[in-house]
Structure 1
Amino acid sequence: HTRTPKTNKKSYKCDKCGAGFTKNSNLTIHNRIHTGERPYECKDCGDRFFQSGHLTAHKKIHTGEKPYRCDNCGALFVDKRGLRAHARIHTGEKPYKCDICGETFRQSITCTRHKLTHTKTKPHGCDVCGARF
């Protein structure tokens, strides 16, 4: 048995926005941003999510559980991801950079959404009138 060295090569590219991923499964999840697919549904309220982990965190809203506390200000969060993103408010860190205009962001999803402003892509649609945005 030999171990393959871990690589950070992002060989899976999104054909819509150019985002790169190290695993095809991450690209599949990412593509849901463009298609609007949200296969994970909350049985309590009907909200839908494109990642199962986001549904898991969301369910804590219904129970009131917020086990992750910010050491700086005491703010509470339902998951580690939320706490990490929040912590950047205190540090000023903006690790996600738009490769088109150079603007930086605290959260990956904010950067991803921003990149769509540079394209004609309109991944969201209104169920009532059909307008795209």
Structure 2
Amino acid sequence: QCDQCDQSFSLNNGLILHQRTHTMDKPYKCNQCDKVFTVRSNLIRHQITHTRDKPYQCNQCDKAFSRNNGLILHQRKHTGEKPYLCNQCDKGFLQKCVLIRHQMTHTGEKPYQ
């Protein structure tokens, strides 16, 4: 169980990864742009952005993406879709991580200080 927010995990590794959200520990660094990540899989996914291969093309504009998820997020800007809703104020967000960060405004949690 996390000692900062009481979230529970069945595996210790899950707890360790979660605690990095509170400590801002980002041990995985991109060797091309110095961007840092809390988990290795996010670094690997990020490194694809440095290649010129962008097979995922938006059918409404000229933008292209190296990952399908990037295209999906981009297309939400065209459609106005905001699938992640705050359960306290009903504000919508394109991405879950932005919703989670927003929800801290309701709880008063300030993990980045």
TM-score of the pair, normalised by structure 2: 0.72
Which residue of the partner structure matches residue 127 of structure 1? Answer: none
- The CA deviation at 1:16 is 2.9
Kept in 2: contact 1:60–1:66 (CA 8 A): no
What are the Cα deviations for residues 6-60 of structure 1, in whole angstroms up to 9, with x where unaligned? xxxxxxxxx7397xx9x86777655533331223221223321124343223213
Residue correspondence of structure 1 range 82-97 to structure 2 within 5 A: 82-97=70-85
Kept in 2: contact 1:96–1:105 (CA 8 A): yes
1:43 paired with 2:34, answer no
Query: Unaligned stretches of 5+ in structure 1?
Result: 1-14, 125-131
1:64 paired with 2:35, answer no
Which residue of the partner structure matches residue 81 of structure 1? Answer: 69
Secondary structure of 2:70's counterpart equals helix
Query: Unaligned stretches of 5+ in structure 2?
Result: none
Which structure: greater helix fraction? Answer: 2
1:16 paired with 2:5, answer yes
Instruction: Count residues with an aligned counterpart.
Output: 111
What are the Cα deviations for residues 88-117 of structure 1, in whole angstroms up to 9, with x where unaligned? 112221110111211111111111111111
Separation in 1, partners of 2:84, 2:103: 11
Q: Which amino acid aligns with 1:36?
A: M
Which residue of the partner structure matches residue 128 of structure 1? Answer: none
Match of 2:89 among 80, 87, 101: 101
TM-score of the pair, normalised by structure 1: 0.64
Q: Which amino acid aligns with 1:40?
A: Y
